[in-house]
Chains A and B, each alone.
Chain A
Amino acid sequence: MAEPADHRDATLLAPIERTGPGFYWAVGLLSLFILWGAIAYWTQLDEGLGVTGLHQPVSWGFYVTNFVFFIGISHAGTLISAILRLSRAEWRRPITRMAEVITVMVLFIGAGQILVDLGRPDRVLNVIRYGRYQSPLLWDATSISAYLTASILYLYLPMIPDIAILRDRLGKRELLYTVLALGWTGSARQQKVLNRAIAVMAVLVIPIAVSVHSVVSFVFSMTLQPMWHSTIFGPYFVVGAIFSGIAALIVAMIVFRKAYGLEAYLKPIHFRYLGQLLLVMSLLWFYFTFAEYLTGYYGGEPEEMKVFWAKFSGPFWPFFWGMALANFVIPVLCLMRLGRRTVGKVLAASLSVLVGMWLERFIIVVPTLSNPRLPFGEGIYWPTWVEWGETAGSFALFALFYLLFTKLFPVISIWEIREGREVGVKEVEERVVSYLPDTGEPVPAESVRRR
């Protein structure tokens, strides 16, 4: 590899080489939240789920909401990165790694929510011993574990050349990097095999990702419950997942841009493109939500309407309208014109979408349960400190995992940036030329048609 290039990308290696006080402060702060979560979970394990606000009939609350939310966030990564890779979007280069890390880290947290939700976590292996494939929960287990495996592989493959750089240059943790680099030398043959493997994984991971949030939605839509039993839940959940995933990706990018001084790599243009993608997803999300609620309302089935009004004007109205505001109004206003102060606007929209999508998951899970078909009266759910603690702890644990990753591996793919400089520019030029009509003698229209 050329020496000047090594020097140019020193910023990307800096967080791995040196550790400042900011890192310890961040770890300390996150640990406090994780401790809160751990105490909450220990209390719950010891005394039972009774320490939460769950009851009859609202037997699912924060944990299931978090599960759907976190698994949704996971669509940030692998899916977006795969689509950008396959569509040869050159601006993907500094983004893909960050996106893929989100997926892998958040999948652990998301799957963990189900474990936290179980009344008998000690019996979780019964799912394997006595598994019943008719249950959508088994579909979830299958799909999510396939996604986790594929995502880890898809994160790891493009990291191999970077790990080799670390092995050769860093001079610490040599054993780890040597093992993980798999003897990478950067030969043309190795590069060819790697590119092929990445392309295969990118294609493979898209259907798996779509299946993941479809089966998560099937947990709800396969039941007969009002406002759950809906045919559009699969695509609706997938759209919401990609929506919240992009928002999470943007937030992560802005945080690490600031913390590690990556302004040279993550430019306003990247945020503008992602912001436009977020805007499109916001409109798409609104369309799905509108279609879903209009269909319910127009049919006017009494059981459906009970849940419908509970959301619109009943006890859940702040959450419902908060969701509409945070998922549609605010992002559209922020993202409509991205000419100036792009990063700030995109950040505001993304934070708003993250809140809005969490509310969306909540507004799907709880109101249906709190309005039973038989005359039980409405069940109101309010979480206790245990659920708040577990939720805060989960977010903090995710942030900590992400942070630790960035201290071990470069958060922006070094070799792909180099490839962009060395190969990408020329390739794009050739590609654009190949799109244009061939220069030379203009061919008569007649002969073109015959060909």
Chain B
Amino acid sequence: MPRWGMVIDLDRCTGCQACVLACKAENNVPAVGMGEATRGRVISWMQVLTEEEEGHPGEVKRFLPRPCLQCDDPPCTKVCPVYATYLNPEGIVTQIYARCIGCRFCMAACPYNAKYFNWHRYQKEAPGQNPDVSVRPKGVVEKCTFCHHRLQKARERALFEKRDLAPGEYVPACAEACPARAIVFGDLSDPGSEVSRLARSPRAFRLQEELGTKPKVIYLTEGEGRG
């Protein structure tokens, strides 16, 4: 069974936000209006967090793209009262929009704030929407799923052509869109894959590792480029 994972090289990230936009287009993430945005209700499954460099305030910005980290021990799934969010066998933390009761306990429990709520009915039925992605009604929680509809599609295609899923056949939209190739995606259970190799790098770290959530999104620290 594959364990899907992602490596994000912070040295390569330019903060261009291509991943953010690719994600929004792929997953029909609704653009909320200005009023809602100022109220802090922007939905962005992939979000580029910024931080001023310590010691150089106002000079150097650092970027941290943050999808859902797909923890192996997710704090959000434990607290869900209705199994609307759970860790699937391939290691993806999934959401069942049709079951969620909107209690927002998972949002309160996620240490990475990777979960978003539909405060209003944001999603509109309009042409140009990706038909592969589930519709989110008003009042439910949504989040990054590693574009797992792409996995379903790729797997169906492979099945139809009577072959195994090839490496690189299933890639989330953010990894595909990154012009700096900062985002590498693949199977962590295959020791030969590029993600596995990068995940073993001495630069590799996980966000808030001390919390024991075991994220499957692994970051490579900055520093190599700067020597």
User: A residues touching B (Cβ–Cβ < 8 Å)?
Assistant: 47-50, 53-60, 114, 117-121, 123-124, 126-127, 129-132, 134-138, 141, 219, 222-225, 369, 372-376, 379
B189 at the interface (CB under 8 A from A): no
Contact among B50, B109, B141 for A223, CB-based, below 8 A: B109
Q: Give min CB distance, A393 to chain B, whole Å.
A: 21
Q: Complex Cα distance A135/B80, Å?
A: 6
The closest CB in chain B to the CB of A220 belongs to: B108
28 A-B contacts (beta carbon < 8 Å): A48-B119, A49-B119, A50-B41, A56-B116, A59-B104, A59-B117, A117-B104, A118-B101, A119-B104, A119-B117, A119-B139, A119-B140, A120-B137, A123-B82, A123-B101, A130-B82, A132-B81, A132-B83, A134-B78, A134-B79, A135-B81, A137-B81, A222-B78, A224-B211, A224-B213, A373-B208, A374-B207, A375-B49
Q: Complex Cα distance A416/B35, Å?
A: 60
B42 at the interface (CB under 8 A from A): yes
Contact A117-B80, Cβ < 8 Å, known A48-B138, A56-B42, A369-B108: no
Contact A132 B119 (CB under 8 A): no
B204 at the interface (CB under 8 A from A): no
The majority secondary structure among interface residues of chain B is loop
Which parts of B27-70 form the interface with A (CB within 8 Å)? 36, 39-42, 49-51, 64, 66
B124 at the interface (CB under 8 A from A): no
Q: Complex Cα distance A123/B141, Å?
A: 14
The closest CB in chain B to the CB of A372 belongs to: B113
Contact B40 A126 (CB under 8 A): no
Q: A129 contacts which chain B residues (CB < 8 A)?
A: 82
Contact B103 A118 (CB under 8 A): yes
Q: Complex Cα distance A58/B101, Å?
A: 18
Q: A57 contacts which chain B residues (CB < 8 A)?
A: 40, 107, 113
Contact A119 B138 (CB under 8 A): yes
The closest CB in chain B to the CB of A379 belongs to: B40
Q: A137 contacts which chain B residues (CB < 8 A)?
A: 79, 81, 103, 105
Q: B207 contacts which chain A residues (CB < 8 A)?
A: 374
B91 at the interface (CB under 8 A from A): no
Contact B109 A225 (CB under 8 A): yes
Q: Complex Cα distance A309/B138, Å?
A: 35
Contact B102 A225 (CB under 8 A): no
Q: Give min CB distance, A114 to chain B, whole Å.
A: 8
Q: Complex Cα distance A119/B105, Å?
A: 11
Number of interface residues, chain B, beta carbon within 8 A: 46
Which one of B81, B111, B116, B119 has the highest number of Cβ atoms from chain A below 10 Å of its Cβ?
Answer: B81
Q: Complex Cα distance A68/B192, Å?
A: 52
Contact B103 A55 (CB under 8 A): no
Contact A224 B109 (CB under 8 A): yes
Task: Give 6 nearest A-B pairs by CB, closest first.
Answer: A119-B102, A119-B139, A50-B119, A55-B40, A50-B120, A137-B81
Contact B82 A60 (CB under 8 A): no
Q: Give min CB distance, B218 to chain A, whole Å.
A: 16
Contact A47 B111 (CB under 8 A): no
Which one of B42, B50, B82, B84 has the highest number of Cβ atoms from chain A below 10 Å of its Cβ?
Answer: B82
Q: Give min CB distance, A445 to chain B, whole Å.
A: 63
Q: A369 contacts which chain B residues (CB < 8 A)?
A: 108
The closest CB in chain B to the CB of A46 belongs to: B138
B22 at the interface (CB under 8 A from A): no
Q: Complex Cα distance A132/B121, Å?
A: 27
Q: B139 contacts which chain A residues (CB < 8 A)?
A: 48-49, 118-120
Q: A374 contacts which chain B residues (CB < 8 A)?
A: 49, 64, 66, 112-113, 207-208
The closest CB in chain B to the CB of A128 belongs to: B82
Q: B49 contacts which chain A residues (CB < 8 A)?
A: 374-376
Q: Complex Cα distance A59/B40, Å?
A: 10
Contact B41 A55 (CB under 8 A): yes
B75 at the interface (CB under 8 A from A): yes
Q: A225 contacts which chain B residues (CB < 8 A)?
A: 108-109, 111
Q: Give min CB distance, B155 to chain A, whole Å.
A: 26
B157 at the interface (CB under 8 A from A): no
Contact A48 B82 (CB under 8 A): no
Contact A135 B112 (CB under 8 A): no
Which parts of B106-148 form the interface with A (CB within 8 Å)? 107-109, 111-113, 116-121, 137-141
The closest CB in chain B to the CB of A381 belongs to: B40
Contact A138-B101, Cβ < 8 Å, known A59-B108, A120-B140: no
Contact B113 A120 (CB under 8 A): no
Q: B105 contacts which chain A residues (CB < 8 A)?
A: 135-137, 219
Q: Give min CB distance, A410 to chain B, whole Å.
A: 40
Q: Give min CB distance, B105 to chain A, whole Å.
A: 6
B151 at the interface (CB under 8 A from A): no
Contact B118 A135 (CB under 8 A): no
Q: B109 contacts which chain A residues (CB < 8 A)?
A: 223-225
The closest CB in chain A to the CB of B102 belongs to: A119
Contact B103 A119 (CB under 8 A): yes
Give me 20 other A-B pairs in contact (C-beta within 8 A), A48-B138, A119-B100, A120-B140 excluded. A47-B120, A48-B118, A48-B121, A48-B139, A55-B40, A57-B107, A57-B113, A59-B104, A59-B117, A119-B102, A120-B100, A123-B102, A135-B78, A137-B105, A222-B78, A373-B208, A374-B113, A374-B207, A374-B208, A376-B113
Contact A55-B83, Cβ < 8 Å, known A60-B108, A120-B102, A224-B111: no
Q: Give min CB distance, B193 to chain A, whole Å.
A: 27
Q: A375 contacts which chain B residues (CB < 8 A)?
A: 49-51, 64
Q: Complex Cα distance A224/B107, Å?
A: 12
Contact A124 B119 (CB under 8 A): no
Q: Give min CB distance, B33 to chain A, whole Å.
A: 11
Q: A121 contacts which chain B residues (CB < 8 A)?
A: 101
